[in-house]
Amino acid sequence: MGVEGVSLEEAKAGAKRAARAAHPWLVRLGRFGYAAKGVVYVIIGALAAFGATGGAEPKDSRGALTELLRQPFGSVLLSVVAVGLAGYALWRLTMALKDTENKGSDLKGLAVRFGYGCIALVYAGLGYSAVQLVLGNGAGKGSDETSKEWTARFMSLPFGRWLVGLAGLCVIGFGAWQCYKGLSARFRKKLMTAEMHDLTDKLATRAGQVGLTARGVVFGIVGAFLIQAALHARAYEARGLSGALRALEQQSYGPWLLGAVALGLVVYGLYMFVEARYRRMIIS
């Protein structure tokens, strides 16, 4: 083998060593990211629960970040959360590129991994909003406004209403999957349950079941509004997270419905702390 071949092999070996060395830090960032996501959902749920009792209106993720900034040492707390959200985005991107969940490279596997990449973009944007808030530049557009804008853009395309309707079905499907995953406790497969005490295992399981189901309900409502917007050709009928929570409040027994889902979102946030500690995170 020539000198060039040796150099190439050495470069490959060096790259592998660097990747292995980075893995522990990447996993730690990912775990920190799950915890930061948990903080955001606890705040969203708490604000929605407060709204159910006649307080402020429900907020989305950016509203939760704004509320966090208003607390004592808010800038410091929000800066920490921003780092965590960036870590979560990086971990989701790693899941997509390195196939850490072993989804494979067939059509279904690539679709799931593409979804991981989209989640990475969403949380990278949320982390950026947190940084902008710390700098005093505002959190950017809320979920309702963003949903309406993107719905209007898609509707302006050929077959745009069909695309919006399809997006609504996909969001409802994701919400249904969240409910199924919660109620069936499939999420336990991704947890290192052998490291848990019996009581911790039981509490984690219940938290996952309640939290994922509540989150699934919210996504289902968001998807239903997208389909409604497509059917009526009115982009302004689309709603995001905060709009979905307000829709619950406007139903019969609305405060009770909103309160139940709000508490479920708080529990989902707490479950994210379980994932931060016990989720199986392996990079091959």
Report which secondary-structure segment, H or E, holds 9.
Answer: helix 3-52
Domain presence at residue 8: no
Residue at 254 is within a domain = yes
260 within a domain of the structure (yes/no): yes
pLDDT tens-digit map of 173-230: 999 999 999 999 999 999 999 999 999 999 999 999 999 999 999 999 999 999 999 9
> 121-158, pLDDT tens digit by residue?
999 999 999 999 999 887 667 777 888 888 898 888 88
| pLDDT score of 2 | 43
d(CA 66, CA 74): 9
Task: Answer yes or no: is 10 within a domain.
Answer: no
pLDDT cut 70: percent of the chain above it: 90
Instruction: Give tens-digit pLDDT for 45-68.
Output: 998 888 777 766 778 888 888 889
Q: Which domain holds residue 244?
A: 19-278
pTM (2 d.p.)? 0.86
Q: Is 226 helix (H, G, I), strand (E, B) or coil?
A: helix
In a domain, 13, yes or no: no
Residue 109 lies in a domain: yes
User: Does residue 1 form part of some domain?
Assistant: no
3-class SS string, 116-128: HHHHHHHHHHHHH
Q: Is there a domain that residue 7 lies in? A: no
Query: Domain count of the chain?
Result: 1
Q: Which positions ≥6 away from 219 have C-beta within 8 Å?
A: 171, 172, 174, 175, 178
